[in-house]
Structure 1
Amino acid sequence: MTEPKDIKLYATHPHPCSYFSEREARTIFIDPELAPSPAIYSALSRRGFRRSGNHIYRPDCSSCQDCIASRVPVGLFTPNRQQRRVLNRNNDVVVKISAVLSEQAYPLYERYINIRHQDGDMYPPSQEQFDNFLSKSNASTEYIHFYDDDVLIAVAVTDVLDDGLSAIYTFYDPEQTRRSLGVFGILWQINYAKSLNLPYVYLGYWIKDCQKMRYKTDYRPIELLMNNRWVLLN
């Protein structure tokens, strides 16, 4: 069986960093035509790789090590007071899990990007971009739909790994600010992982000096991949 160490990696040319305008970034990724087994994909996640569309990648910047993979050990996690309030405010939400996205998903995504992320790489949104980013998945992907009555208010895209869930992306109704749906989506996935007896929720890269990526450490205790070792941060 193929091992992670046997998978050929490719590297991008230096390109503008998505998080710091004055920096250049470099990314390594596995062959997009390769469909790794669930075991290989899980092993790559433990080594700090992430999935975006059909690309499984990891930052590999020679002059910067600020992108640090993070995961929540769900057995140790207890929501804080603010997070408990978010859970209580959303106790009326109906959750449905599917292997395909609802037809309501793209209009919701489009509004979310247009209002919340006009300064990001995904602006302006398009159906093609949406399909490449979120609709192209693998056999382990689940689309978690959150409804207020019959109205779709959030979607969390998550991959089921051997040892946890990988939270790929969450988008939501930008006008439902009181619900804190981004926070709720993560808390729900942590509880979902617990129900599946999976030990981790992988949250992607924590970047200390980037405001929109600092939120990962709001979910403590959390583990950070530092010097190829997962370190617990209480």
Structure 2
Amino acid sequence: MTRQFTDNPQFYLTAPSPCPYLAGRQERKVFTHLVGERANALNDVLTQGGFRRSQNIAYRPACEGCRACLSIRIVVDDFDWTASLRRVLKTNDDIVGTVTPPRPSSEQYSLFHRYLETRHADGGMADMSVVDYAMMVEDTHVDTVLVEYRARTADSAITGRGHGPLIAAALTDRLSDGLSMVYSFFDPEPARRGLGTFLILDHIRRARAAGLPYVYLGYWVEGSPKMGYKQRFRPQEVLGPTGWRRV
């Protein structure tokens, strides 16, 4: 059940449900619909205000007595390319990402399903059907792309495309001040590649090339092992009561 939260645009508040990040806690979300001509501008404003997008919904946590979820974004121009992160780039130099429209495919779903089974079998997305996945990708009224990663070949420098099986994919929103990584997934087998880290590093490079100052990573939750990887990417800005501050 939901109830109306405010007007213009209309916001709603979800009923309490178990928190997926911190055991024993309840979560609530405030959300609104991203539809119509103003969807793109609204997505910009809301993302900068700590919301995330899922299909045509923008949401943020609104939990009573808990402020553990912190919105974070990477500062692109000052990014610290540490030796370990550069090694990840070098390891994955044989992969190239191609920007495509947000159109689902059976190949994407197969990789998505394999990724969830291996990495998030107990998560809320584990039982997503082909139809659910298609909705996640294509149900958008904002500036969204899908970046598909495949093996680099001799002509990739000219065509900008890779070839062969799909290795990874990232659903990404393009904002006025950055790239927002909505959801990404990858081949779970070659763990040594650090593909999850590589996708974020590649988006940092893409944002810099486009002259965009930020890469939005969603929420970081202190005490949640699922979110620990996000601390590698610095400097970051965290959204607090007085606005964004660098950490």
What TM-score do you get using the length of structure 1 for normalisation? 0.93
Equivalent of residue 81 in structure 1, options 71, 76, 83: 83
Q: RMSD of the TM alignment (CA)? A: 1.8
Cα pair 2:88 2:193 within 8 Å, conserved: yes
Distance in 2 between residues matched to 1:117 and 1:57, nearest whole Å: 22
Structure 2: stretches of 5+ with no match in the other structure: 1-5, 152-162
Comparing 152-161 with 73-82, greater Cα deviation is found at 73-82
Confirm or deny that 1:111 pairs with 2:114. yes
Equivalent of 1:193, from 199, 203, 207?
207
Give the C-alpha shift of residue 133 in structure 1: 2.4
Which residue of structure 2 aligns with residue 138 of structure 1?
A: 141
TM-superposed CA distance for 1:214, in Å, is: 2.2
CA distance in 2, matches of 1:71, 1:122: 24
Q: How many residues align?
A: 230
| Structure 2 residue matching 1:216: 3-state secondary structure | helix
1:1-234 aligned at under 5 Å gives the runs 6-31=8-33, 36-101=38-103, 103=105, 104-148=107-151, 149-233=163-247
Among all aligned residue pairs of Structure 1 and Structure 2, give the percentage whose two residues are the same amino acid. 38
In 2: Cα distance, 1:13 partner to 1:131 partner: 26
Task: Give the stretch that moved more between structures: 161-170 or 128-137.
Answer: 128-137
AA aligned opposite 1:140: D
Q: Alignment partner of 2:12: what SS?
A: strand
Q: Hey, what's the Cα distance between the residues in 1 that align with 2:27 and 2:117?
A: 25
Instruction: Kindly indicate whether the alpha-carbon contact (under 8 Å) linking 1:26 and 1:61 is maintained by their aligned counterparts in 2.
Output: yes
Deviates more, 1:77-86 or 1:95-104: 95-104
Q: Partners in 2 of 1:41 and 1:221 — Cα distance?
A: 24
Distance change (3 Å), C-alpha of 1:228 and 1:7: farther
Alignment gaps of 5+ in structure 1: none
Check whether the contact 1:38–1:162 (CA below 8 A) recurs between aligned residues.
no
**Structure 1 stretch 97-106 or stretch 178-187: which is displaced more?**
97-106
Structure 1 residue 35 displacement after superposition: 5.9
Post-superposition shift, 1:64? 0.6
Provide the secondary structure at the position in 2 that maps to 1:150: strand
- Whole-angstrom distance in 2 between the partners of 1:107 and 1:35: 33
Contact 1:76 1:221 in 2 (8 A): yes
